[in-house]
A and B are shown apart, each in its own frame.
Chain A
Amino acid sequence: MGDIKVDQELDCRGMGCPLPVLKTKKAVGTMTSGQVLKMVCTDSGSNKDMPSWSDRTGNPILKREEQNGEFTWYIQVK
């Protein structure tokens, strides 16, 4: 997969559950279908909760990166 075009970024570093999911939901709500949100967080719980949220809402996760304890999620708005 080539570079993903990011339409909006969201920094959830240092935030614990439920904030990464909550803020992702809010951000996605302001975006339009097909746009991509890049969300960065440090909560390891996101590794289970983001896929679970994606399944629940139907907004696909295009890519996940992990580096130095930071998790980056590329989410496409359905």
Chain B
Amino acid sequence: MELKSYTAQELWDWAFGSVPKFLLLDVRNDKDFARSKVEAPGLWVQNLSYIDFIEEEAESLGKVAAQKDQPVRIVCAKDGSARYVAEVLVKAGFSNVASLAGGITTWGDLLVHKLVHLDQEFELYQFQRPGKGSLSYALVGHAQMWVFDPARVLEPYLTLAKSKGVVITNLFETHLQADYVSGGKALAAATGAKLWGHPGDFAGADYKIGPVTDHQNWELSKNLAVTAIHTPGHTPGSTSYQIAGTFLLTGDALLIHSLGRPDLGGMWEPWAKEEFVTLETKIKAWPDSQILLPGHFSDWTERNPQGLFARSLGEVKALNPEIFLPMKEDEFLAYIQGRVRPQPEEYSVIRTLNLGQGEKSEAELKELDLGKNQCAASTH
């Protein structure tokens, strides 16, 4: 009999749609599950290793949380084990079983874009990467597309540009990413676009990247500009880009919950001191009406009712009283110190790759680029 399969895009559509309840059965080992499980609001997930099904089939079948007439969607590292378990379930009488084609990395690499803003001058899109919790952006107008913080998988940006009939001409990095492999260098090579990043992070890069300076302006038209605001702290080169005087693409300088952790570089105190200055002299001066479009999210509850990770500065201030209340430097340092924690060991490898150093195969990149970000200053 033919086993059914499904795609990461379908998983997204079900997870965020109103389809009947299904069980997502992850058959990888518990360590991989902990590192890169599928998360979506209200998703019903169970981890039962395929090794358990090989060793104790009957016992494992008894542990499956779904009833036999409920849909079960299986996921594993590639797709062989998911198919193996799917077959076991079908033989045991489960009536609606399918396995994820291509495995968990297809979910890890999925980008879904949503419209943030549309007017006569421009369109602004948010690319959400559910497997990573990272966000990238595309500004479209005047026959051009500018991309901010492109992810490793380029096809979603190229497809959007093609469908809009525009050319990708500028790429902006908010900072040197530690949690995901940047697509900046590759997208520049694929399109001829100019790549921009602050020397505080990119001075050591082994590829061509234009040095961004504080207050630098890029004009898409005489009515529409992008302005760089140097917002160091999370990293020394962290830069926010303000679009049309309204939208603030902060990278991790400011998040909807909390701000980017300054301890990823291994010296939390000097970077936290810089972050305090950025917070006090720049971020706190941003008007309540500005719209924050961050580089990462930690939790789906950060989305607004339109399904976007976008909040007015007024809302962000209300959501983060511990950051926005008046604070002295030592209070801020204590706040950060309480949130210093180990980082995933792959982050140093990813930072090196993002400077254009080191070689990895596509399979290694997919594996390295998997798992939810740990970029926010938080206690977990």
B265 to chain A: closest CB distance in Å? Answer: 29
- Chain A neighbourhood of B84, CB < 8 A: 18, 22
Summed over the interface, the residue pairs from A and B with CB atoms below 8 Å come to a total of 41
**Any chain A CB within 8 A of the CB of B78?**
yes
Expressed in whole angstroms, the Cα–Cα distance for A11 and B52 within the complex equals 23
Q: For residues 24 through 71 of chain A, which have their beta carbon under 8 Å from a beta carbon of chain B? A: 25, 44-45, 48-49, 52-53, 56-57
* Contact yes or no, B29 A48, CB < 8 A: yes
CB <8 Å contact, A48 and B80: no
Question: Quick check: is A16 within 8 A (CB to CB) of the other chain?
Answer: yes
User: Would A45 and B78 count as touching, CB distance under 8 A?
Assistant: yes
Q: Are B31 and A48 touching (Cβ within 8 A)?
A: yes
- Contact for A56 among B51, B76, B78, B363, CB less than 8 A: B51
Name B85's closest neighbour in chain A (CB-CB).
A18
Interchain CA distance A45-B51 in the complex, whole Å: 13
Q: Let me know if B55 and A18 touch, CB within 8 A.
A: no
The reply to whether B55 and A57 contact each other, CB–CB distance below 8 Å, is yes
Contacting pair A49 B54 (CB below 8 A): no
Among candidates A16, A44, A52, A53, residue contacting B80 with C-beta atoms closer than 8 Å: A16
Query: Known: A18-B50, A18-B54, A57-B55. Is A52-B29 also a contact (CB below 8 A)?
Result: yes
Beta-carbon contacts under 8 Å, A5-19 to B: 16-19
Q: What is the CA–CA distance of A53 and B56 in the complex, to the nearest angstrom?
A: 12
Question: Please, which residues of chain B bring their CB within 8 A of the CB of A21?
Answer: 50-51, 54
* A48, B81: Cα distance in complex, Å: 14
Task: Give the top 5 A-B pairs by smallest Cβ distance, nearest first.
Answer: A52-B29, A18-B81, A17-B80, A16-B80, A18-B84
Q: What's the least CB distance linking B258 to chain A, in Å?
A: 32
Which residues on B are within 8 Å of A, measured CB to CB? 29, 31-32, 49-52, 54-55, 76-78, 80-81, 84, 363
Apart from A16-B78, A56-B49: 6 A-B pairs, beta carbons within 8 A: A17-B50, A17-B78, A18-B54, A45-B77, A49-B51, A53-B54
A-B contact pairs, 20 of them (CB 8 A): A16-B78, A17-B50, A17-B78, A17-B81, A18-B80, A21-B54, A22-B54, A22-B84, A45-B77, A48-B29, A48-B31, A49-B51, A52-B29, A52-B31, A52-B49, A53-B51, A53-B54, A56-B49, A56-B52, A57-B55
Of all chain B residues, the one with the shortest Cβ separation from A57 is B55
Chain A residues close to B by CB (< 8 Å):
16-19, 21-22, 25, 44-45, 48-49, 52-53, 56-57
Partner of B54, one of A16, A25, A44, A48: A25
- CB proximity of A59 to chain B, nearest CB, Å: 11
The interface centre, meaning the residue of A17, A21, A44 with most chain B CB atoms within 10 A of its CB, is: A17
**Docked CA distance A56–B55 (Å):** 9
> How close is A76's CB to chain B, nearest CB, in angstroms?
17
CA distance A52 to B77 in the complex (A): 14
- Please give, as numbers and ranges, the residues of chain B lying within 8 Å of A57 by CB-CB distance: 55
B contact residues around A19 at 8 Å (CB): 80
B61 to chain A, nearest CB (A): 16
| A-chain residues with CB within 8 Å of residue B55 when the two chains form the complex | 25, 53, 56-57
Measured CB to CB, the closest approach of chain B to A47, in angstroms, equals 11
- Report the minimum CB–CB distance from B168 to chain A (whole Å): 34
Given contacts A48-B31, A48-B32, contact A17 B77 (CB under 8 A): yes
Closest to A22 in B: B54
| Bound complex: CA A44 to CA B50 (Å) | 16
- Candidate in A19, A48, A49 with the most chain B CB atoms within 10 angstroms: A49
Taking the nearest CB of chain B, how far is it from the CB of A35, in angstroms?
Answer: 19
Smallest CB-CB separation from B56: which chain A residue? A56
Q: Which residue of B lies closest to A25 (CB)?
A: B54
Q: Which partner residue on chain A sits nearest B31 by CB separation?
A: A48
